[in-house]
């Protein structure tokens, strides 16, 4: 049982790290386009600026939902990112925390579109229906891959147990079993859809639906929504790295260099995961249409996830 204090203490850390990750993402993205790109702390500027800006609530909006959803989205995604981070630091976990995290992250992305569709703007509504479609597409393979890995590591639904399993087995899970390798691949493939970046930013496509759900938000509300998005990215990359690629060496680092080194290695790893699954696709692909995206997910990651689940049940 992790102490509540640790969880609370990680909240600001999550905030800092996720904005930092976003900054790095933007910088690398720009460099791949042969530009200088914004400074790495640009997301902080953006966040603070939006925070002190005027907040406009359109008259057509359903006020209470419109106002509440950004905070809910931000809160759930930050907590969703803080739990794994706190667990990593405290090296414990509670039963079912993995499910809780997945739930919170999904919750956060649903809250964003709910808020958008309550704005009364038709583009928000289009964004909503698109997001729901996407959700059906990626959420199922994503969850199955998590289940598959947790079967391998126990079975246990405790996040830290999975890491412990990797430390014990002397290998990262993705290298140890075929089933985990396919699960890892599924998870990685789902990240870019789960966080909604090109090629899967369909609900928020700027040229098609003018940022979709975000269209009517301004000022602090927008800041929270952006934060929700970047902390989801952070959280998913962290999960992907620690669930599948936690090399025992990382753990051993702490014996030599102290615990901070382990944490640093994990963050570095998740940064790599983010660059690979978020930055690179969004640089080199065009946006798909909703039908195409949906098909992509049902024809590739879904069968793969199911295979992985079956393999892990069979003990591969």
Partner 1 sequence: MIWEALKSLFKKPLTVQYLTKPDEKVPVPERYRGKISYNRDACIGCLLCIRTCPAGAITADERKVSFSLDRCIFCGQCSETCPRKAIEITSKFEIVVYTKSEIASQ
Partner 2 sequence: MVNEREVKYDEFARFILPVGPVHPALKEPFHLKIIVKREEVLDVELRLGHVHRGIEFLAENRNLIQAIYLTERICGICSHSHTTCFIQALEEVGGLKPPERALYLRTLIFELERAHSHLLLLGIMAYQIGFDTLFMYTWAAREKVLDLFEEITGNRIHHAMNVIGGVRWDLTPKMAEKTIRVMKDIEVTTRRIYDFFRGETVEKRLSGVGLLSQHDAHELCVVGPTARASGLVFDVRKDDPYAAYGDLNDSFSVISKKEGDSYARTEVRILELFELINIVQAALDRLPNGPINLGESPVRLMRRIPRGEAISRVEAPRGELIYFVKTNGGDGLERLKIRTPTLANIISLKKMLIGCEIADVPVIVTSIDPCLSCANRITLVDHETGEVKVVNADELRRKKS
Partner 3 sequence: MWKIASRSRIKSPWIFHLNTGSCNGCDIEIVAALTPRYDAERLGCVLVGSPRHADVLILTGPLTSQMMPRVVRVYEQIPEPKAVVAVGSCAISGAPFLGSYSIEGPLDRIIPVDVYVAGCPPRPEAIIRGIVTAVKRKFG
Which residues lie near partner 2 (CB under 8 A)? 32-35, 122-123, 125-126, 129-130, 198-199, 201-202, 205-210, 282-292
Question: How many residues at the interface with partner 1, by CB under 8 A?
Answer: 13
Distance CA 189, CA 199 (A): 12
Minimum CB separation of residue 39 from partner 2 in Å reads 19
Q: Which does 38 bind (CB under 5 to 8 A by kind): partner 1, partner 3, partner 2, none?
A: partner 3
Could you tell me which residues come within 8 angstroms of residue 253 by beta carbon, excluding any fewer than 6 positions away? 261, 262, 265
Residue 197, helix vs strand vs coil: coil
Judged by CB under 8 A, which of 13, 37, 132, 276 binds partner 3? 37
| Rg, the chain, Cα only | 19
- Binding map of partner 3 across residues 219-248, x = CB under 8 A, - = no contact: x--x--------------------------
Are 95 and 157 a contacting pair, CB within 8 Å? yes
Does 120 bind partner 3 (CB under 8 A)? Our answer is: no
Exposure string of 36-59, with b = 16+ CB inside 10 Å and e = fewer, is ebeebeebbebbeebeeeeeeebe
Distance CA 277, CA 239 (A): 13
DSSP states of 153-195: TSS---HHHHHHHHHHTTS-HHHH-HHHHHHHHHHHHHHHHHH
| Residue owning tokens 């630091």 | 89
Tokens of 66: 């419109």
Half-sphere exposure of 277 (CA within 13 A, CB side): 29
Q: Which does 122 bind (CB under 5 to 8 A by kind): partner 1, partner 2, partner 3, none?
A: partner 2
Nearest CB to partner 3, comparing residues 39 and 154 = 39
| Listed ranges 32-40, 62-70, 117-125, 307-315: which one lies at the site for partner 1 (CB under 8 A) | 32-40
Judged by CB under 8 A, which of 9, 40, 44, 176 binds partner 3? 44
Name the nearest CA neighbour of 79 among 197, 235, 260, 191: 235
Does 289 bind partner 3 (CB under 8 A)? Our answer is: no
Does 280 bind partner 1 (CB under 8 A)? Our answer is: yes
Q: Which does 214 bind (CB under 5 to 8 A by kind): partner 3, partner 2, partner 1, none?
A: partner 3
* Contacts with partner 1, residue ranges (CB under 8 A): 28, 30-37, 280, 283-285
* Contacts with partner 3, residue ranges (CB under 8 A): 26, 30, 33-39, 42, 44-49, 52-56, 206-207, 210-211, 214-219, 222
């Amino acid at each position: 049982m992790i102490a509540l204090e640790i969880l609370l203490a990680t909240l600001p850390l999550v905030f800092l790290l996720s904005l930092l990750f976003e900054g790095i993402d933007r910088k690398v993205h720009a460099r791949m386009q042969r530009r200088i790109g914004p400074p790495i702390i640009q997301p902080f500027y953006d966040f603070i600026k939006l925070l002190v800006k005027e907040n406009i609530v359109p008259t057509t909006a359903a006020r209470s939902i419109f106002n509440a959803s950004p905070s809910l989205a931000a809160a759930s995604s930050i907590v969703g990112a803080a739990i794994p981070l706190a667990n990593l630091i405290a090296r414990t976990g509670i039963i079912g925390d993995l499910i809780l995290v997945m739930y919170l992250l999904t919750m956060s992305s649903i809250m964003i579109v709910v808020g958008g569709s309550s704005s009364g703007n038709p583009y928000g509504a289009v964004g909503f229906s698109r997001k729901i479609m996407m959700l059906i597409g990626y959420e199922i393979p994503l969850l199955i891959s998590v289940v598959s890995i947790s079967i391998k590591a126990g079975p246990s639904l405790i996040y830290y147990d999975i890491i412990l399993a990797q430390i014990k087995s002397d290998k990262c899970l993705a290298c140890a079993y075929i089933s985990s390798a396919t699960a890892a691949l599924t998870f990685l493939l789902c990240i870019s859809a789960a966080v909604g970046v090109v090629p899967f930013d369909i609900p928020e496509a700027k040229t098609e639906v003018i940022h979709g759900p975000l269209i009517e938000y301004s000022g602090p509300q927008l800041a929270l929504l952006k934060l929700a998005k970047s902390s989801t990215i952070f959280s998913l990359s962290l999960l992907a790295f620690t669930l599948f690629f936690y090399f025992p060496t990382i753990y051993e680092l702490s014996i030599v260099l102290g615990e901070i080194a382990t944490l640093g290695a994990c963050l570095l790893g998740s940064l790599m995961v983010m660059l690979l699954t978020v930055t690179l696709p969004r640089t080199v692909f065009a946006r798909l249409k909703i039908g195409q995206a949906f098909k992509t997910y049902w024809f590739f990651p879904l069968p793969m996830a199911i295979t992985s689940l079956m393999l892990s049940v069979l003990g591969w």
